[in-house]
Amino acid sequence: MTLGDIGVPVQSEQSGGPELVQLLTPEGERVHHPDYPLEVTAEEVRDLYRDLVLVRRLDVEATALQRQGELGIWASLLGQEAAQIGSGRALRPGDMAFPSYREHGVAWCRGVRPGELLSLYRGNDFGGWDPSETNLGLYSIVIGAQTLHATGYAMAMQRDGGEDASIAYFGDGASSQGDVNEAFVWASVFNAPVVFFCQNNQWAISEPIEKQSRIPLFQRARGFGFPGVRVDGNDVLACLAVTRAALDAARTGQGPTLVEAYTYRMGAHTTSDDPTRYRLASELEIWRLRDPIERVKAYLSRSGEADAAFFESVQEQSDELAGQVRSACVDMPDPHPLDIFTEVYAEKTPHIDAQRDGFAAYLDSFEGVQH
Amino acid sequence: MATFTLAKALNDGLRKAMEDDPKVLIMGEDVGKLGGVFRVTDGLQKDFGEDRVIDTPLAESGIIGTAIGMAMRGYRPVCEIQFDGFVYPAFDQIVSQLAKVHYRSRGKIKMPVTIRIPFGGGIGAVEHHSESPEAYFAHTAGLKVVACSNPADAYHMIRQSIASDDPIIFLEPKRRYWEKADFDPAAEPGPLHQARVVRPGSDVTVVAYGPMVKVALDAATAAEEDGRHLEVIDLRTLSPLDSGTVVESVRRTGRLVVVHEAPTTLGMGSELAARVTEQAFYSLEAPVLRVGGFDTPYPPSRLEEDFLPDLDRVLDAVDRSLAF
């Protein structure tokens, strides 16, 4: 029996296949899709462009900070800006986002400040933002675990009434995890208002998508009983429209949707990774032509919706942001040794307090050492 | 005063918690219409509805993972893991997620999640239905672990656990579900995280928790006939561990025997032995002795009576302790 006999399509070529939803071509041409009409003003497109440029700059600066020893590690979002800004800007204030660890663009959309984002990678804390203030959960390092939290959160929203929805971010590698599949089952049978936003960036560190799935990921949703859609993850307009539609479906009682944002991890997995060991430079070249920012710039220039002064002002803003990112990082005070013991429990225990006091006394026993 | 089985006391405690706070939810496999395989949640779905007593898909990681999401939005889920041996698929969600949410959010997110686990053997069950996984959880910072041993504690401790803002592993001695006792539900309970001297004595301190408290008490009654006065402590809280109550007792008796069903290596007895040695070294007349399951997998049920500590093995340890 061959794959064709059992109706399983082999993973398609790198273009994303015929079902890819696209509203802006790599050349910057605005196209329309019958299922995803999108009305955007010139100002909205300019704002999206600005977001894309700024988060890429933040990312470049963070990578540099890691190289200079200011961050322990950094997970670059290079290439995935449109997937994150498009979906992030589709969120309403009351929605709740559950990120993986590369969602710097989503964090940007939720108002997380650069220092709050970098503190985790500097090793100061586990994320400096307040999830209840930003409606962005803390980064999840364990792959896929957050999809269950997003689903449970959506079930709580369901019980509270109203029109809020939650969104879970994860990657192609995570789609193999038990937790993600359990989240699909839960969301489906409880009709939870959750959007599963999978950034298929083609690589889980060194493992290509073929090691995770024999069918396009968005098609998996069907087996769980809810719709799946593949969107051009390098097209900010398409990501905005598709995510907005999925969120609206969730808000109006139509349950979950799986959005597969078809994109590419342009950089290494993290600053500790060396992708030349497992993938070809030619592949990178193909995706360079589909850059998520260049196509918006081309569209804005050609349509006359932005002029040279606009692009210049974005460049200036970007330089300013780079400075802010840098100073937020290097000016960050080191955590105090006794911070180890804080907030282990909501209701304190004498045992942890005793360990804290013992360690404080031990530190005090070193003459002339301040802490 | 009224008479309750331990299962019924838990059922009443859950009912009271749900009446007191509309944010309390129950989730698990077969907890709704069936009322749980041990009937601990009997009748609750009928009275509180399917939105509050949720029959979940059969996936333990999913139960805990979605409970975490619900707790993030202010709910207080009470999850039932059907049997001790089925908790392991949820291990990541419990130890890496649930246990750490409060810490990693620097106290901004509370995790008032209670995980009920019927634990221990002695009911002639097939494998994976008789285990004692408490040490894994007591070893995990961010979790609290308690074990009830009698109907009165079952009623009060489940309510206290649900009211706590920390995640609590709530261990239920499944072989004692049907044992009865009288108690007054209106009486004010003591603190949740405190051990209790359930039988005073002067010769040897015997510490137990959950299903082994009855064994320890029976051993004390038998020892009394030989003129030996055992002090029995029901540990009740495994994390935080109330070693203070144990140390205070050992200072008087000079001898300690710890009894549990879990294998002795790196079990609660090991930790108690270490703490008592650190805090009451000069009071000890004998080494701390552990009576527990062997360091083997739980055996087939026809062998479990040999595996599980019983009255004679406790008395044997008492003899050995007194022989020093």
Q: How far apart are the first and last CA of chain B?
A: 45
Q: Test B59 with A182 for CB contact under 8 angstroms.
A: yes
- What local confidence, expressed as pLDDT, does residue A13 receive? 53
Instruction: State mean pLDDT over B233-256.
Output: 98
CA–CA min distance A194, chain B (Å): 12
Whether residue B190 is contained in a domain is answered as no
Q: Test A156 with B74 for CB contact under 8 angstroms.
A: yes
Query: Mean pLDDT over all residues of chain A?
Result: 95
Amino acid identity, residue A77? Answer: L
- Chain B residue with the nearest C-alpha to that of A97: B69
Whether residue B97 is contained in a domain is answered as yes
Q: Among A142, A159, A343, whose Cβ lies nearest the Cβ of B103?
A: A343
Q: How far apart are the first and last CA of chain A?
A: 69
- What local confidence, expressed as pLDDT, does residue A1 receive? 42
Using DSSP bridges, classify how beta strands B204-208 and B230-234 pair: parallel, antiparallel or unpaired: parallel
* ipTM of this predicted structure: 0.96
CA–CA min distance B76, chain A (Å): 11
Instruction: State mean pLDDT over B64-71.
Output: 98
Token couple for B53: 């007593």
Whether residue B232 is contained in a domain is answered as yes
Instruction: State mean pLDDT over B292-321.
Output: 98
**To probe the interface with B, which of A129, A135, A142, A155 has the most B CB atoms within 10 Å?**
A155
**Do both B95 and B168 map to the same domain?**
yes
**Nearest alpha-carbon partner for B311 in B187, B196, B194, B225:** B225
Number of Cβ atoms within 10 Å of the Cβ of B210: 27
Whether residue B188 is contained in a domain is answered as no
Q: Which residues are within 8 A (CB) of A269 and not within 5 positions of it... i.e. 6 or more apart?
A: A75, A203, A205, A206, A275
Is residue A185 less than 8 Å (CB to CB) from chain B?
Answer: yes
**Do both B135 and B72 map to the same domain?**
yes
Per residue in A111-161, pLDDT (tens digit) is 999 999 999 999 999 999 999 999 999 999 999 999 999 999 999 999 999
Whether residue B247 is contained in a domain is answered as yes
User: Which residues of chain B does A342 touch, with a Cβ-Cβ cutoff of 8 Å?
Assistant: 106-107
**Do both B279 and B300 map to the same domain?**
yes
Domain count of chain B? 2
Instruction: State mean pLDDT over B75-88.
Output: 98
Per residue in B179-221, pLDDT (tens digit) is 999 999 999 999 999 999 999 999 999 999 999 999 999 999 9
- Out of B135, B152, B183, a domain closes at B183
Q: How confident is the model at residue A371 (pLDDT cuts 50, 70, 90)?
A: low
Per residue in A181-190, pLDDT (tens digit) is 999 999 999 9
- What local confidence, expressed as pLDDT, does residue A2 receive? 47
- What local confidence, expressed as pLDDT, does residue B308 receive? 98
- Out of B134, B153, B183, a domain closes at B183
Using DSSP bridges, classify how beta strands A207-208 and A203-204 pair: parallel, antiparallel or unpaired: antiparallel
DSSP run (H or E) holding A258: strand A257-262
- Out of B158, B183, B208, a domain closes at B183
CA–CA min distance A178, chain B (Å): 8
User: Which residues of chain A does B103 touch, with a Cβ-Cβ cutoff of 8 Å?
Assistant: 126, 343-344
- What local confidence, expressed as pLDDT, does residue B184 receive? 96
Per residue in A244-299, pLDDT (tens digit) is 999 999 999 999 999 999 999 999 999 999 999 999 999 999 999 999 999 999 99
| Positions of A marked active-site | 265, 269, 278
**Do both B206 and B176 map to the same domain?**
no
**Do both B213 and B301 map to the same domain?**
yes
Q: How confident is the model at residue B1 (pLDDT cuts 50, 70, 90)?
A: confident
CA angle at B200 for the pair B199 and B205, rounded to the nearest 5°: 90
**Do both B113 and B219 map to the same domain?**
no
Task: Give yes or no for residue A6 having a pLDDT over 80.
Answer: no
**Do both B169 and B23 map to the same domain?**
yes
**To probe the interface with A, which of B51, B72, B93 has the most A CB atoms within 10 Å?**
B72
Per residue in A36-89, pLDDT (tens digit) is 999 999 999 999 999 999 999 999 999 999 999 999 999 999 999 999 999 999
Whether residue B285 is contained in a domain is answered as yes
**Do both B167 and B202 map to the same domain?**
no
Task: Give yes or no for residue A328 having a pLDDT over 90.
Answer: yes
**Do both B163 and B126 map to the same domain?**
yes
Q: Which residues are within 8 A (CB) of A292 and not within 5 positions of it... i.e. 6 or more apart?
A: A52, A79, A80, A81, A82, A83, A233, A234, A235, A236, A263
Task: Give the CATH number for residue B120.
Answer: 3.40.50.970
Task: Give the CATH number for residue B242.
Answer: 3.40.50.920
Give the range of the structural domain holding residue B33, as residue numbers without chain letter: 2-183
Instruction: State mean pLDDT over B269-287.
Output: 98
**Do both B159 and B57 map to the same domain?**
yes
**To probe the interface with A, which of B54, B60, B73 has the most A CB atoms within 10 Å?**
B73
Q: At how many degrees (to 10) do helices A308-330 and A42-67 cross?
A: 40
Question: Model pTM?
Answer: 0.96
Quote the CA–CA distance of B51 and A156 in Å, as a whole number: 10
Whether residue B189 is contained in a domain is answered as no
Task: Give yes or no for residue B226 having a pLDDT over 50.
Answer: yes
Q: How confident is the model at residue A370 (pLDDT cuts 50, 70, 90)?
A: low
Whether residue B72 is contained in a domain is answered as yes
Instruction: State mean pLDDT over A345-352.
Output: 97
Per residue in B14-50, pLDDT (tens digit) is 999 999 999 999 999 999 999 999 999 999 999 999 9
**Do both B13 and B150 map to the same domain?**
yes
Task: Give yes or no for residue B259 having a pLDDT over 70.
Answer: yes
Number of Cβ atoms within 10 Å of the Cβ of B298: 25
- What local confidence, expressed as pLDDT, does residue A176 receive? 97
Quote the CA–CA distance of B311 and B215 in Å, as a whole number: 6
Quote the CA–CA distance of A256 and A180 in Å, as a whole number: 13
The answer to whether A145 and A179 are in contact (CB under 8 A) is: yes
Instruction: State mean pLDDT over B268-273.
Output: 98
**Do both B170 and B33 map to the same domain?**
yes
| Domains in chain A: ranges and CATH | 42-335 (3.40.50.970), 337-371 (no CATH)
